[in-house]
């Protein structure tokens, strides 16, 4: 029986939470630790280090706060309470040396169980501002790891236990980061990647096809397009690209996204924390459209990290029109050296050693 210390990771079931957890897991395994993941059912569709096949994943019931409707709030409270019972039993059974949370409401039950049972706890937040679940947990954990400096500067009580480590990168991203940016040649192919987060984004299907339709026809033959498209939008998007004879690969989800990021000349995307960190690590130019309406405006702040160094162009969704996007793509196609400069600028804020730095913090807090 393997008696090496166990580290329990907890993460919401989206790529932005799961991928940093996977990256830390890989590093901890290298150091001789065992790892398991507590998450929600959404995570079962991902492949990688954690899976039912590898018998290292535990589903803990949880629910996201979706509004102030009393019925919705009651459902959330009931599900989180049930998840708390499951998490208490899980932590008692596993006896982890530490529990590490990566954001999302599914992290609440495992981290609170750790608190109740006296197990050291750490949260990691990849955003430029703490997410809601992590804000709640911040006062109940031993340490807070952030991807960016200054996240807790306005809260001295929490800043004292904060360490800036960066966003842990899974092996596929580290491999992609080793590939130099291949500049687009004037009149040569222009590789455009359009993504919208782990669930896709309807706005990309609404704006990108008519934007490309507005380009000069000579650009249609230069484009090599890869776009994440929801199933319900697939037919209408494909019809436009077929009519324009644009070389386009469309899918709801790409399992090899790091390699596609590396081969792109320009990325159009939402600005989730994971996406921004990966663009910086790999060093690729982007047009970022923050998700509007968020209470803490985390995606707007995330995009600002790259836009401030001229590694990305941040466009509010209200300004993200077909005409505006067509204008920006046309300008980049005419002066591809701008993309080369943006790629280099994005790379200046990337961190490739975040998994090692976070693993160091885990060992320090756990005392192992």
User: Looking at the structure, do residues 116 and 131 belong to the same domain, yes or no?
Assistant: yes
From 64-73, 146-155, 161-170, 318-327, the region with the lowest mean pLDDT: 64-73
Is the pLDDT at 200 greater than 70? The verdict is no
Is the pLDDT at 199 greater than 60? The verdict is no
What is the spatial distance between Cα 330 and Cα 219, in angstroms, rounded to a whole number?
Answer: 8
User: Looking at the structure, do residues 248 and 107 belong to the same domain, yes or no?
Assistant: no
User: Looking at the structure, do residues 152 and 276 belong to the same domain, yes or no?
Assistant: no
Q: What does the block give as tokens for 117? A: 């049972």
User: Looking at the structure, do residues 356 and 333 belong to the same domain, yes or no?
Assistant: no
Report the C-alpha dihedral over residues 17, 23, 24, 29, rounded to 10 degrees: 140
CATH number at residue 191: 3.40.50.2000
In a domain, 1, yes or no: no
In a domain, 59, yes or no: yes
Of 285, 276, 286, 281, give the one whose Cα is nearest residue 315: 286
User: Residue 46: what pLDDT?
Assistant: 74
Interval 10-37: pLDDT, tens: 998 777 888 899 999 999 999 999 999 9
User: Looking at the structure, do residues 343 and 360 belong to the same domain, yes or no?
Assistant: no
User: Residue 206: what pLDDT?
Assistant: 96
> If you average pLDDT over residues 166-179, what whole number do you get?
93
What is the spatial distance between Cα 75 and Cα 82, in angstroms, rounded to a whole number?
Answer: 11
User: Looking at the structure, do residues 97 and 58 belong to the same domain, yes or no?
Assistant: yes
> If you average pLDDT over residues 298-312, what whole number do you get?
94
What is the spatial distance between Cα 313 and Cα 288, in angstroms, rounded to a whole number?
Answer: 6
Position with higher pLDDT, 294 vs 326: 326
Is the pLDDT at 222 greater than 90? The verdict is yes
User: Residue 151: what pLDDT?
Assistant: 87
In a domain, 281, yes or no: yes
User: Residue 63: what pLDDT?
Assistant: 63
Interval 105-124: pLDDT, tens: 889 999 999 999 999 999 99
For residue 348, the 8-state DSSP code is: T
- Which residue range(s) make up the domain with 56? 6-169+352-366
Position with higher pLDDT, 333 vs 48: 333
User: Residue 45: what pLDDT?
Assistant: 72
């Amino acid at each position: 029986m393997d008696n090496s210390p166990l580290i329990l990771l907890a993460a919401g079931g989206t790529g932005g939470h799961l991928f940093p957890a996977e990256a830390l897991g890989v590093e901890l395994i290298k150091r001789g630790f065992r790892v398991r993941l507590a998450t929600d059912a959404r995570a079962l569709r991902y492949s990688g280090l954690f899976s039912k096949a590898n018998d290292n994943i535990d589903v803990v019931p949880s629910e996201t706060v979706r509004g102030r409707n009393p019925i919705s709030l009651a459902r959330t409270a009931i599900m989180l309470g049930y998840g708390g019972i499951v998490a208490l039993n899980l932590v008692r059974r596993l006896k982890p040396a530490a529990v590490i949370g990566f954001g999302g409401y599914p992290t609440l039950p495992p981290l609170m169980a750790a608190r109740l049972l006296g197990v050291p706890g750490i949260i990691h937040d990849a955003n430029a501002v703490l997410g809601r679940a992590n804000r709640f947990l911040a006062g109940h954990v031993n340490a807070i790891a952030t991807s960016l400096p200054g996240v807790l500067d306005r809260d001295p009580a929490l800043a004292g236990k904060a360490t800036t480590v960066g966003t842990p990168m899974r092996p596929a991203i580290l491999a992609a980061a080793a590939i130099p940016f291949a500049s687009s040649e004037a009149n040569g192919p222009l590789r455009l990647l359009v993504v919208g987060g782990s669930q896709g984004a309807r706005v990309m299907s609404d704006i990108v096809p008519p934007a490309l339709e507005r380009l000069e026809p000579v650009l249609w033959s230069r484009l090599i397009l890869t776009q994440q498209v929801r199933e319900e939008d697939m037919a209408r998007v494909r019809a436009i690209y077929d009519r324009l004879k644009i070389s386009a690969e469309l899918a709801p989800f790409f399992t090899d996204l790091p390699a596609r990021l590396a081969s792109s000349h320009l990325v159009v995307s939402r600005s989730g924390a994971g996406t921004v960190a990966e663009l910086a690590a790999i060093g690729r130019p982007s047009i970022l459209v923050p998700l509007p309406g968020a209470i803490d405006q985390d995606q707007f702040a995330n995009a600002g990290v790259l836009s401030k160094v001229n590694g990305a162009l941040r466009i509010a969704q209200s300004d993200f029109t077909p005409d505006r996007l067509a204008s920006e793509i046309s300008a980049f196609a005419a002066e591809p050296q701008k993309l080369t400069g943006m790629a280099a600028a994005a790379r200046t804020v990337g961190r490739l050693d975040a998994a090692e730095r976070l693993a160091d913090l885990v060992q320090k807090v756990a005392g192992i």
